[in-house]
Amino acid sequence: MSNATYEKQNPAFYVLLVCLIFMAVGPIFLMLVNSFKLDVDIISGTTGLLFLPTIQNYETALCDILWYEPEHLDFCSLKFGGSLINSIIIALVSTALTLVIGCMAAYALVRFRFMGRDTVSVSTLLVRMVPPAVLLVPVFGLWNNEFCLDKDGLIGGFIRDTFGGRGDVCLAGTHSGIILIYVAMNLPFVIWILQSFIVQVPRQLEEAARVDGAGPFQVFFLVVLPLIKPGLAAAAIFTFRIAWNEYLLASALSDRDTKTVPILIVNNMSEFNVEWGVIMATGMLLAIPPIIFTLFASRQIITGMTAGAVKG
Amino acid sequence: MQTAAINRLAPYVFIAPAAVIMVIALVYPLGYMIYGSFRSWDPSQKISETEFVGFSNYVQLANDPAFLESLSVTLRFAFVVVSIEMILGVGLALLLDRKIRGMSVLRTLFILPMMIAPVVVGLMWRYMYHPTVGTINRFLKSLGFEGVDWLGANALTSVIIADVWQWTPFIFILSLAALQSLPQSALEASRIDGATTLQQIFYIKLPLMMPVLIVTCLLRLIDAFKVLEVILVMTEGGPGLSTEILALRISRTATEFRELGVAAAMSNYLLILLMLLTVAMFAFTRIQEVRARRQQALIGAEN
């Protein structure tokens, strides 16, 4: 029976598979190919792979953080490198914060029995129901007008003196403003998914540690955390993906210096004369981290996705 | 003594940061939005400086043809997209639920469209739909057909195709997981009783998958109301209002027309709509469960 693990299939079946794969990956591959083409080649339509690949588009995109000056550029107009750095900072910090805070909350919910699991599931669903567009108005209003430090106050005055600028110090336009809303958006999902992993950690293990004299914090960090690594990986990927890809709230909250990559791409798309090559290169740079995660951690991603529906 | 105090406080310390953040950045803003939707509110004003206008924002919206049009676009988009994706996704899962080599590779490649940024998805499709440069029209012309005006006359269809491309894999993967966790004994028994493949699918697999399918459908429906970036990049809501879904209209009302009060009222309409859908879906599952339990009880009584 050991040979029966793979059944022989109809050849038509494999044709279907190839078609499906082509359809799923085709557009992404097309973007990759086009990002190595000059605009002339894209527009004149030299189809297929018969073209001279060039990294010129990537040089144009990254011109403000390259260590050399690309020959074909007189002036670096696209500040892509800066927004790439913003994106990285925002995505990494919000992922780390969400994980730490979410982990602690999930542990408390499971072990100390605050609320039932149902309460958490329902609130996860409720938060998932809220579209980012709905948060746009209140977040814009609050971050700009209410969550501010008075410029005459102690801390606000200090920040204004140190970093310059006018008006009160507000959350809008800072990295932390964007990070705060991303953490809040992702927390329910992270708590919920980690919960389902923490439930599986045997209680005896923790009790043994406690008998050996470990406090609740030691039990959590030294015993529980190492055991739920797969759950942490899934949660991390999902949080990172949202923080990395999100456009709407970031565009409402960021200013010239805190723009993220999606905002930059949208701004460049809305111009009449789209420079396809450069735009595709920026799109590719934005797509690379999620693609890498997918290729290396698809099992965790599928766990995270199916935990949502199959177990819940 | 001190350690005992720490032990007693530990749960609260663990849960406090999450609770604080959720209250500051989700609960408070949502309350603020409901409050703001009753006011005439300009982005430059503090909310305390605004004027109370009662339900006039809501009434104004209910009589605004542009809002009603965008509501209908949203509903059409969501229902068409979810139906097509459910049929395709479940169909593919039933078809591909076999032990074949390379299934995990297939699944990995299928997740890719969901993982990359919606902005990038919009970008790719905008290029492919381009009337002259685009891949699709070029392909059609090389076969001798007329090019299609994708993002012009057929904008909504084009947007739907892009969304189906991006999200069908989601339903495929969830239904595949559901299929693979079905009790083998039931399938085995039906096979012995001589059920055909089609009978197996319609009388055994689909009914057993139903709970998962309903949750999947609900999740997808909720997400379909959130779609914004893909459409923004592809069509910017145009031409006219033909692809301006609610999320896009909210963001335009807030940023271009600078009417935060109206945008807040619109957000509330959208939230109420989503809430109704969720409740309806849950009620439906509950009723089905109760009915199933009653039938089982009947069978038990007969025996």
Confirm or reject contact between A34 and chain B (CB < 8 A).
Answer: yes
Residue B141 belongs to some domain of the structure: yes
Asked if residues B41 and B261 have their Cβ atoms less than 8 Å apart, the reply is yes
Q: What is the pTM of this model?
A: 0.84
Asked if residues B202 and B122 have their Cβ atoms less than 8 Å apart, the reply is no
Closest CA to B16 of B128, B24, A144: B24
CATH code (residue B110)? 1.10.3720.10
User: What does the pLDDT read at residue B80?
Assistant: 92
d(CA A253, CA A66): 28
Mutate to test the interface with A, among B119, B182, B213, B215 (most CBs of A within 10 A): B119
In chain B, whose CA is at the least distance from the CA of A129? B222
Query: Cβ–Cβ of A283/B119 closer than 8 Å?
Result: yes
How does pLDDT run across B6-46, given as a tens digit for each residue? 667 777 778 888 888 888 888 888 888 888 888 877 777 77
Is domain A81-311 classified as CATH 1.10.3720.10?
Answer: yes
Q: Is the pLDDT of residue A11 over 50?
A: yes
- Burial class of residue B228, CB neighbours in 10 A (0-12, 13-18, 19+): buried
- Which pLDDT band, with edges at 50, 70 and 90, does A1 fall under? very low
Residue B72 belongs to some domain of the structure: yes
| Tally of structural domains, chain B | 1
Which A residues, 257 through 296, put their C-beta within 8 Å of a C-beta on chain B? 262, 265-266, 269-270, 276, 279-280, 283, 286-287, 290-291, 293-295
Residue B173 belongs to some domain of the structure: yes
- Which pLDDT band, with edges at 50, 70 and 90, does B84 fall under? very high
Percent with pLDDT over 70 in chain B: 96
Residue B99 belongs to some domain of the structure: yes
Nearest by CB to B138, which of A45, A216, A245?
A: A45
User: What does the pLDDT read at residue A156?
Assistant: 64
- CB contacts of A24 in chain B (<8 Å) are 109-110, 112-113, 165, 169
Residue B51 belongs to some domain of the structure: no
Whole-number mean pLDDT of chain A? 78
The domain limits of chain A are 81-311
Which A residues, 77 through 96, put their C-beta within 8 Å of a C-beta on chain B? none
Its domain, for residue B195, covers: 66-270
d(CA A8, CA B138): 38
Query: Cβ–Cβ of A310/B254 closer than 8 Å?
Result: no
User: What does the pLDDT read at residue B81?
Assistant: 92
**At CA A63, angle to CA A57 and CA A66, rounded to 5?**
115
How does pLDDT run across A25-76, given as a tens digit for each residue? 888 888 888 888 777 777 776 555 666 777 777 877 777 777 776 666 667 7
- Burial class of residue A279, CB neighbours in 10 A (0-12, 13-18, 19+): buried
Residue B41 belongs to some domain of the structure: no
- CB contacts of B100 in chain A (<8 Å) are 6-7, 9, 13, 17
Length of chain B: 303
Nearest by CB to A137, which of B28, B36, B216?
A: B36
- Which pLDDT band, with edges at 50, 70 and 90, does A4 fall under? very low
Nearest by CB to A262, which of B112, B119, B225?
A: B119
Query: Cβ–Cβ of B119/A28 closer than 8 Å?
Result: no
User: What does the pLDDT read at residue B83?
Assistant: 92
